[in-house]
Structure 1
Amino acid sequence: MFLKNSWYVAGWSNEIQRSLTQRWIIGEPLVLYRTQAGKVVALTDRCPHRRAALSKGNLIGDTVQCGYHGVTLDCSGACVAIPGQQQIPPSMKVRTYPVVEKWQWIWVWMGDPEAADESLIPDFRYNSEPGWVSTGGCIDVKANYQLLTDNLLDLTHETYVHTRTIGTNEIVETPMTQRVEGNEVHVQRIIKNAPPPPLFSRVRKLEGNIDRWQVIRFQPPASVTIDARAYPAGTDDLERGLRWFSVNTITPVDARTSKYYWTITRCFAQDDAEVTKTIHDSIYTTFMEDVEVLEAQQIMIDTDDSMKAEVGVRADGGSVAARRIVEKLVKQQSTALAS
């Protein structure tokens, strides 16, 4: 169940250079590269001649030459040369995709090009905002993208999965609130007068109990921002506290594989490289704990022939709402394509 009329991250800005890079997005193969002027191009990675992977070919100037028989395509996807013949069939072309470079990432619109709207790219401004510093990465996950958004919208799992970094008993003991605004889901949990998790203590040397905020925003199909804050208990003193944004967007490769792009962007200790490294390494460890759970979960889903429905709990509210929004948008997409 994929939403085509949407922006998906195809890579970090510094990943796409003057070479051919293959990406699979929602089951479709793409080849990406930068022109000599620095513009990012995304084409279908399938030669119209014999369906060889164009990404295995050569970048010549701003054109892509298929490495199998030498068919050459320009930035628009049109064929400009066929070895051994002058005539070029009108159908000798591939699709080109709208591309926007924003918030340190390369975004590709996978649906109707006429519907591509840059304003629909999630607001991840803190990845590039002055006064904030970010660190991040990309993790390949052998699981459906919605298992990742489920995970990010229900943070009660932190109590059990992430005891070494960001988990505490108080998370699961504190109720959350949830609301739906249009096509967005907002989940919030405020934990009062509780011990700080290990990572918070390491990077901010917090002493005594804290008030901890988890403010989550889901934007379809698979982007989740978590505004994480911690203050000395009973205060809103950010000078002695902590605030960062956990910025997450998942690109489905296919129904059972995803690329998980993430950053942690903070407004404290901006020039402290050691803090940056500690946060990066700890959060990477945290996310790899999630990956272990989710990949095992995907196997259990794939091998379950019982067709028995899952049994929901109260903490599922945010993830269920997000799935319903995506399902609604996919149905609208299918109706529009059928008409």
Structure 2
Amino acid sequence: MFIKNGWYVAAWGNEIGRELTQRWIIGEPLVLYRTEAGKVVALEDRCPHRRASLSKGQLIGDTVQCGYHGITFDCSGSCVRIPGQDKVPPAMAARSYPIVEKWKWIWVWMGDPAAADESLLPDFHYNDAPGWVATGGCLPVKANYQLLTDNLLDLTHETYVHGKTIGNSAIVETPISYRVEGNEVHVERIIRNALPPPLFQRAHPFEGNIDRWQIIRFHMPAHISIDARGLPTGTTDIAGGLRWFSINSITPVDERNSLYYWTITRCFALEDKGLTQMISDQILKTFLEDVDILEAQQVMIETDPRGLPEVSVRADSGSVSARRIVARLAEETNRAVVEQATSEVAQ
């Protein structure tokens, strides 16, 4: 169940250079590289000749030479050379994908190139906005991507999984509110007059209880931002507390593997490199706790022969809504593909 007409993170910007790099996204292989002018290119990582992996070949100037038979393709995927042959068959072309490089990440559009719309990117400008400092990484996860979006939309698990960093009992005791706006889901939890969790205490010198906000926004296909705030109880000035965004983009590799791109970007103590490293270390520890849970969950799902439906609770409202959006958009994409193929056969 994948949305094709949507943007996925293919890599951090600094991962792609003057070498051929393979990425699998929604079950499709891509080869990425930068041109001599610095532009990122994404082509299907299958030579149309004998389906050899182009990423195993050579980058010659701005062209990709297949390492099997030397057939060469330019940035658009057009074949520019077949050794020992002047005429190029019309079908000898590699598919190219629209690319946007923005907010430290390289985004690829996996569907109809004519439908690629940069305005459909999630608003992740806090990754490199003035007055904010970000730290982040990428985790491979042996689980379906929707298990990760479920995890991020229902933060009640923080009480039980992340008690040493961002969790405490106040989270599970405070109900959420949620709403759906088009293809977005918004989930909000406001915790009043509670102890700060361990990581908040390490990041800011709170002297007493705090009010805490978890404002979550899901953007299709699998992008989630969490506006996390902690302020001394009864105050509203962010200068007296902390605020950061947990920015998350889940890229499905295939049905049971994902790449989890994440950042934590904050607007306080910007020059404190030690604080940046501490937050990075603690958030990575937190996410690895999630990975452990989710990979085990994936195995339990795959090995359950009964086919029983899951039983949802109130806290699942956001994740259930997001799954419905993905199912609808994926069905629309698949229907369009079938209709196009049927039309081409009829012609």
Q: Measure the CA separation in 1 of the matches of 2:23 and 2:223.
A: 19
Q: 1: CA distance between counterparts of 2:8 and 2:61?
A: 27
Shift, 1:333, TM fit = 1.8
**Alpha-carbon distance, 1:96 to partner:** 0.3
Q: CA deviation at 1:88?
A: 1.7
- Is 2:123 the partner of 1:117? no
1:330 aligns with 2:330: yes
SS across alignment from 2:101: strand
Instruction: State how far apart, in whole Å, the 2-side matches of 1:285 and 1:335 are.
Output: 41
Q: Please list, as runs of the form range in 1=range in 2, the aligned pairs for 1:222-261 lying within 5 A after superposition.
A: 222-261=222-261
* Residue identity matched to 2:135: T
Deviations 1:157-185 (A, max 9, x none): 00000011000000000011011111110
Partner of 2:135: 135
Amino acid aligned to 1:27: G
Amino acid corresponding to residue 332 of structure 1 in structure 2: E
Question: In 2, Cα distance between the equivalents of 1:70 and 1:331?
Answer: 39
Q: Check if 1:97 corresponds to 2:136.
A: no
Deviates more, 1:231-240 or 1:13-22: 231-240
In 1, the alpha carbon distance for the partners of 2:335 and 2:257 equals: 26
Percent identity between the two aligned chains: 71
- Provide the secondary structure at the position in 2 that maps to 1:14: helix
- Listed as ranges, the matches of 1:185-264 within 5 Å are 185-264=185-264
2: CA distance between counterparts of 1:88 and 1:177? 59
Amino acid at match of 2:111: G
Structure 1 residue 17: deviation in Å? 0.5
Look up the SS of the partner of 2:14 in the other structure: coil
Alpha-carbon offset, residue 83 of structure 1: 1.6
Distance in 1 (CA, whole Å) between partners of 2:333 and 2:251 is 18
The residue type paired with residue 283 of structure 1 is: I
- Counterparts of 1:1-339 in structure 2, within 5 Å, are 1-339=1-339
**Structure 1 unpaired stretches of 5+:** none
Deviations 1:16-37 (A, max 9, x none): 1110000000000000000001
Q: For residue 311 of structure 1, report the CA deviation from its aligned partner.
A: 1.1
| Secondary structure in 2 matching 1:301 | helix
Helix, strand or coil: the match of 1:38?
A: coil
Measured after TM superposition, the shift of residue 297 of structure 1 is 0.2
Name the aligned partner's letter for residue 23 of structure 2.
Answer: R
Distance in 1 between the 2:310 and 2:149 partners? 17
Q: How far off is 1:72 after superposition?
A: 0.8
Q: Deviations over 1:123-181 (max 9, x none)?
A: 00100110000000000000000000000000000000001100000000001101111
Whole-angstrom CA distance in 1 between matches of 2:151 and 2:335: 30
Structure 2 alignment gaps of length 5 or more: 340-347
RMSD (CA atoms): 0.8
Q: CA deviation at 1:87?
A: 2.1
Could you give the per-residue CA deviations for residues 280-303 of structure 1, whole angstroms, max 9, x where no partner exists? Answer: 000000000000000000000011
CA distance in 2, matches of 1:237, 1:196: 17
| Count of aligned residue pairs for this structure pair | 339
2:188 match: secondary structure: strand
- What amino acid is the match of 2:292? E
TM-score, normalisation: structure 2: 0.97
Distance, in Å, in 2 between the alignment partners of 1:41 and 1:311 is 44
The structural deviation recorded for 1:336 is 2.5
| Alpha-carbon distance in structure 2 between the residues aligned to 1:260 and 1:34 | 23
Residues 276-334 of structure 1, C-alpha deviations (whole Å, 9 max, x = no match):
00010000000000000000000000111011111111111000000001111112222
Paired AA for residue 181 in structure 2: E
Give the TM-score taking structure 1 as reference length: 0.99
